[in-house]
Structure 1
Amino acid sequence: MTATGIISALIIGLIIGALGRLVVPGRQNIPIWLTMLIGVAAALLGSVIARAAGVAATSGVDWIELFIQVVLAAIGVALVVGVGGRRGVSRY
């Protein structure tokens, strides 16, 4: 993978992760690097799912693939926030 490909994946991952954070209600206290990591993973997994379902090859913008990626990012953000929220300091 070239440097341009890595930079593109990080930018797309940040956008997909940010969209996933917007979908999840409430405040998410996760760092930007974790949002980017979730976004990159969701983008890759979403592309695989879209190709397997036969909806990745469309003319123009792949709205179905983008929808799948954002839903996966939202699920990833919700899981990370849920797991991280349980590790909070006890108030007693």
Structure 2
Amino acid sequence: MIGLIISLIVVGLIAGALARLLVPGRQDISIAMTILLGIIGSFVGGFLGYLIFHQDSSGGFFQPAGIIGSVIGAVIVLLIWTRTGARRGARV
């Protein structure tokens, strides 16, 4: 159980950091929010992968396709976050 939590944090950090590098602009979020972004992106990427390919993660937790899906999901979540945050910050 502890190994799963640690691996979620590590994959979340990697996916979140790569998403922040890929999305242009400045994101004012902390390292903890980057990890959370990556974890949420992993779930979004896994869900989208299941919808498109009708496959689950029965082959194991660490797969290149899973990491790529996590990064794609994190980019989607970050784009949504920056777009809704930009609107919220513009209203004063």
- 2:67 aligned with 1:66, yes or no? yes
Change (3 A) 1:56 1:3: closer
Length, aligned pairs only: 88
User: Cα distance, 1:85 vs. partner?
Assistant: 1.9
Q: Which ranges in structure 1 are unaligned for 5 or more consecutive residues?
A: none
Separation (CA, whole Å) in 1 of partners of 2:49 and 2:58: 9
User: Does structure 1 retain, via aligned residues, the 8 Å contact 2:16–2:34?
Assistant: yes
State the TM-score, normalizing by the size of structure 2.
0.72
User: Cα distance, 1:43 vs. partner?
Assistant: 1.4
Separation (CA, whole Å) in 1 of partners of 2:58 and 2:44: 16
Separation (CA, whole Å) in 2 of partners of 1:38 and 1:22: 13
Q: Which ranges in structure 2 are unaligned for 5 or more consecutive residues?
A: none
Specify the SS of the correspondent of 2:75.
helix
| 1:39-68, Cα deviation, whole Å (9 max, x unpaired) | 11211332344355138567xx73333222
- Output the aligned Cα RMSD: 2.7
Separation (CA, whole Å) in 2 of partners of 1:35 and 1:90: 25
| 1:7-45, Cα deviation, whole Å (9 max, x unpaired) | 221111111111111110111112222221121121133
